[in-house]
A and B are shown apart, each in its own frame.
Chain A
């Protein structure tokens, strides 16, 4: 089955830039999306279609893609950014194969 691979944890100091990667064989052909989940809360979409930012999401959040890896970048990290981040994509096989990465805990 198709898998998306994320690092379990990333740690940065306030004001620094955090980069969270997500790798998957189908990512050159399929978009990736990113969600932020703070403790005890529902996930929130922060990036869709690799690089698009939904309205209301801080400009500090950006996405990029290169080959089989996509990256979520958070600039000027703040304490409120401490959360779990999940990438998500779909299997390229044509079935309804929604897949999530295992999640990355961002510690500020």
Chain B
């Protein structure tokens, strides 16, 4: 069964850092593009970042709202996706979901993890 399990969320002060993890099972991360999508409390879904499939690290992509502050990466030996979050702001408060990213160029997401909550507050 294809599954994704996020971890690493929590409470962090403005300007702080956090690293989210997404452990994949039932498929190989290196064979698929992967994305992070977030959802602020009571709000809609917002795509954050993606990494392409392939064995050489993959190309990375970011929403303008997080460019320069968030970094997506993966460790194929651990079959785990990461999101390094630096210089965090209150507006980054959200549930962060990882999702397998299908149909490159007409991307859709399936499955999704259960999400991990990031709260940026002093």
Contacts and interface: CB of A to CB of B under 8 A. Distances in A.
Given A90-B107, A98-B35, A42 B47 contact: no
A33 B108 contact: yes
A48 interface: yes
Contact of A98 (B47, B97, B113): B47
Contacts, number: 60
Interface residues of B, number: 22
A42 B97 contact: yes
Report, as a range, how many residues of chain A touch the other chain.
20 to 34
B27 interface: no
A54 B54 CA distance: 24
A103 interface: yes
A99 B47 CA distance: 7
Nearest to A1: B64
Nearest to B63: A98
Contacts of B50: 96, 98
A101 B45 CA distance: 8
A49 interface: yes
Contact of A100 (B45, B102, B103, B105): B45
Which 6 A-B pairs rank lowest in CB-CB distance, beginning with the nearest?
A96-B61, A98-B47, A33-B108, A45-B110, A100-B45, A42-B112
Given A31-B106, A31-B108, 12 more contacts: A33-B108, A48-B103, A49-B103, A54-B110, A86-B44, A86-B45, A88-B45, A98-B35, A99-B47, A100-B47, A102-B44, A103-B45
